[in-house]
Amino acid sequence: MGGRIQLESVPGRGSKFSFTVNFDVANEEPRSYHQAADLKDKAVLVVDDNETNRRPLEKLLLAWGMKPVLTTDGITGVDEYQKSVNLEETYPLVLLDVNMPQMDGYEVAAKMREIAPANDTAIVVLSSSLTVPKHVSPEQLQIARKLSKPIRRAELHEAIVSVLSSGLERGGPAQQDVQAAAKSLRLLLVEDNSVNQKLAIRLLEKMGHHVQLAVNGREAVDRTLSTQFDLIVMDLQMPVMGGLEATQKIREREANSGGRTPIVAMTAHAMKGDRERCFEAGMDGYVSKPIRIELLKHEIARLTMKGPGEQPMNATQSESNSNGNAAVNLPELLSRVENDWDLLRELAEIFREEFPRYTDALRLAIRDGNLDQAREAAHALKGMLANLAAVHPAAAAGELEQLAKSAQQAALAASFAKFEADTQGLLAELEGYMAGAKK
CA nearest to 231, candidates 283, 158, 178:
283
Tens of pLDDT, residues 82-121: 999 998 899 999 999 988 888 888 889 888 988 887 667 8
Report which residue type is found at 316: T
Report residues of the chain scoring pLDDT below 50. Answer: 31-36, 130, 134, 168-182, 306-322, 439
CA-to-CA dists, residue 176 to 170, 187, 210, angstroms: 8, 21, 20
pLDDT number for residue 68:
95
Residue among 159, 149, 147 at smallest CA distance from 64: 159
**For the CA atoms of 155, 160, 161, 165, what is the dihedral angle to 10 degrees?**
140
Beta strand 4-10 with 14-20 is antiparallel
Query: Domain 330-438: which CATH class?
Result: mainly alpha
Q: What is the pLDDT of residue 213?
A: 92
Reported as half-sphere exposure (CB side, CA atoms, 13 A), residue 279 has a value of 11
> How many other CB atoms sit within 10 Å of the CB of residue 305?
11
DSSP 330-369: HHHHHHHTTT-HHHHHHHHHHHHHHHHHHHHHHHHHHHHT
pTM score: 0.52
pLDDT of residue 428: 83
Paired residues of 69 in beta bridges = 45
Q: Residues with Cβ < 8 Å from 34, sequence gap 6 or more?
A: 40, 64, 65
Domain limits, the chain:
33-178, 182-305, 330-438
Task: Please state, as a whole number, how many other Cβ atoms lie within 10 Å of the Cβ of residue 304.
Answer: 17
Q: How far apart are the first and last CA of the chain?
A: 47
Q: How far apart are CA 400 and CA 381, in angstroms?
A: 10
Please report, to the nearest 10 degrees, the dihedral formed by the alpha carbons of residues 25, 20, 395, 147 taken in order. -70
Cβ(287)–Cβ(312) under 8 Å?
A: yes
- 112: closest CA among 134, 83, 132, 133? 83
How are strands ordered across the β-sheet holding 93-97? Answer: 67-71, 43-47, 93-97, 122-127, 143-148
CATH superfamily of 33-178: Response regulator (3.40.50.2300)
Q: Do domains 33-178 and 182-305 have the same CATH topology?
A: yes
Rounded-to-integer distance, Cα 356 and Cα 348, Å:
13
Condensed to tens digits (0 to 9), the pLDDT of residues 283-313 reads 988 887 777 777 788 888 888 864 433 443 3
Rg (the chain; Cα; Å): 24
The contacts of residue 421 (CB under 8 Å, 6+ apart) are none
The DSSP secondary structure of 151-184, one letter per residue, reads PPHHHHHHHHHHHHHHHHHTT-HHHHHHHHHTSS
Q: pLDDT for 114-153, tens place per residue?
A: 888 766 789 998 876 545 554 555 555 778 888 877 777 8
What was the pLDDT predicted at 138? Answer: 52
Which CATH superfamily includes the segment(s) 182-305? Answer: Response regulator (3.40.50.2300)
pLDDT given at position 264: 92
